[in-house]
Structure 1
């Protein structure tokens, strides 16, 4: 990297400037590029105070575009801080930056190199601005992800109890403790669900969305909270196809020449939380909604495996949810799939 220090006075305001931020759980590495050359990396702690310090520094560089990866929850507060300070921010899928680094033929992988790669990406690729969700939608996502985490813990605890119960040698005190852990998790999940519903009730937009989501058979309050937490934070101008791709439910073909013809699978390159939130509601809808069941059966009749048919229903249901929110209309199962009439 060029032996230079970032100095806003030395930067020509007429020149477009780019920056990349490598986000870690505790540390942020910032690299700024001007005229195709990087300045020395700067390190910040991943704390609100240093978020503000970085935003203040970058705000002095007129027109700067900052690029970072979506790294779970660790990047989110920084993206909010930079956006609120007026800095242009783009957040990209980690797989995109990983493949971009391969194109650049980077031989090393360090935080400094990754930050520079992100700056080069911002420099060469089209700017796609990050859309900041409202505070209530951010809070709802926090509720939904915490409920999901506790639900996973509850499943693990129930599996442990089942294993302990399989032998008569397990002391009753141990079984009692395992059951108490499950009961405690149930209580915590109920408290968080009540908190999420109270938050939704305070905001008309969220309340209306809950009504729309629960108009689908198979989606009750718990599933609706999980889906709303992930889908409502997405930019309003995203198409239904972009939703599907973001969820990783888009098909991934793999054909080459005359000899390589792998099975088409879903990409799984997007948000796994959306796929997880859709999975059980789809199976429930297949059981209780005749139109969704007919579509599922139609896929089976075409030779699809049950899991393949489930993924197809998930994808089509995501299309339906996008249309429901866009047009503010409840779920219409007759538009989801028209059951063919049987000629007598």
Structure 2
């Protein structure tokens, strides 16, 4: 049974956000500081506000409400989408979506939101900028290669591309240095622990610490693996449907990709990961599936080591199995 006096579902867009209260119905506010204050003023005591994770748009409102001691939940948009589909809804508007989010919260246990610290917030912004610059640099490098293959490349174009790449290299180095300094300030010990795991590099360790809030957001390794999206999904029904097992991919894509890249090195130098990789490959499983299993193992090792406070030790297998 819902323990809150009233539950609100919120659908956020660029300029406005629609709110649907379980008792008071629909209302709309401007998606700015003035609108936030008006919404806050309209909330009854002991209210629950639920919204979807929608990138930039939900973040400001969630942070504002949390800092004003309102109970907030940020839910996975896919979960709400599935809930709406089960209801066979024929109308989709911002107003109907807000009502659907409200109904979803009334019928399900929703996770409570914890505001990001200033360090976490800056680190996540820096990681997003880092990704954007890396993609830009890759495109620039490909363009340079294309120009070099031409019979008579333009010197002006070639020099411009070279200058652009040099500038991006400098910016990327500065961003990585800033992230490292921020995390070291608060989580130096945990950073040292995670980088002791063969296969886990500094970048992956930094991102793990930031998105998990030093692993405090999760009670066990299974919850963390589900969050990242590297838990297996099995499709079987009766005797006729035998679908291929695959990972869920409902989770943090950035972290999932980083762990997959780490798995290549881990299956060579991390004894436990190497054993899993070789065992699966010898059973006839694909190398990609084996690397995903290694990614899962790496994440579980990271969780166990972060929680135990002890560095990686090949001989201390019991800690890593927890």
Fold-level similarity (TM above 0.5): yes
Alignment of 1:158-307 (within 5 A): 158-203=141-186, 206-232=187-213, 235-307=216-288
Counterpart of 1:54 (choices 10, 26, 39) is: 39
Aligned residue for 1:19, secondary structure, equals strand
Q: Distance in 1 between matches of 2:119 and 2:209?
A: 11
Provide Cα deviations, 1:278-322, integer angstroms capped at 9, x if missing partner. Answer: 122221222333443333222211222111111111111111111
Provide Cα deviations, 1:192-237, integer angstroms capped at 9, x if missing partner. Answer: 111112212322xx11121112112233333322332323276534
Deviation at 1:49, TM superposition (A): 4.1
Task: Give the direction of change, closer, same or farther, for the CA distance of 1:309–1:318 in structure 2 (3 Å limit).
Answer: same
Q: Distance in 1 between matches of 2:88 and 2:168?
A: 48
Deviation at 1:148, TM superposition (A): 2.4
Q: Verify: 1:120 aligned to 2:96, yes or no.
A: no
Q: Verify: 1:326 aligned to 2:307, yes or no.
A: yes
Aligned residue for 1:28, secondary structure, equals strand
Q: Distance in 2 between matches of 1:93 and 1:131?
A: 15
Q: Equivalent residue for 1:28? A: 17
Aligned length: 316
Task: Give the direction of change, closer, same or farther, for the CA distance of 1:162–1:287 in structure 2 (3 Å limit).
Answer: farther
Task: Give the direction of change, closer, same or farther, for the CA distance of 1:293–1:134 in structure 2 (3 Å limit).
Answer: same
Q: Equivalent residue for 1:142? A: 125
Q: Distance in 1 between matches of 2:235 and 2:4?
A: 42
Provide Cα deviations, 1:251-302, integer angstroms capped at 9, x if missing partner. Answer: 1111122211110010101110111221222212223334433332222112
Task: Give the direction of change, closer, same or farther, for the CA distance of 1:291–1:151 in structure 2 (3 Å limit).
Answer: same
Counterpart of 1:313 (choices 294, 298, 301) is: 294
TM-score normalised by L of structure 1? 0.84
Aligned residue for 1:263, secondary structure, equals coil
Task: Identify which range, 328-337 or 262-271, moves more after superposition.
Answer: 328-337
Task: Give the direction of change, closer, same or farther, for the CA distance of 1:235–1:176 in structure 2 (3 Å limit).
Answer: same
Instruction: Tell me how large the CA RMSD over aligned residues is.
Output: 2.2
Q: Distance in 2 between matches of 1:113 and 1:303?
A: 49
Counterpart of 2:85 (choices 99, 102, 117) is: 102
Q: Distance in 2 between matches of 1:71 and 1:221?
A: 28
Q: Distance in 2 between matches of 1:336 and 1:95?
A: 37
Deviation at 1:28, TM superposition (A): 1.7
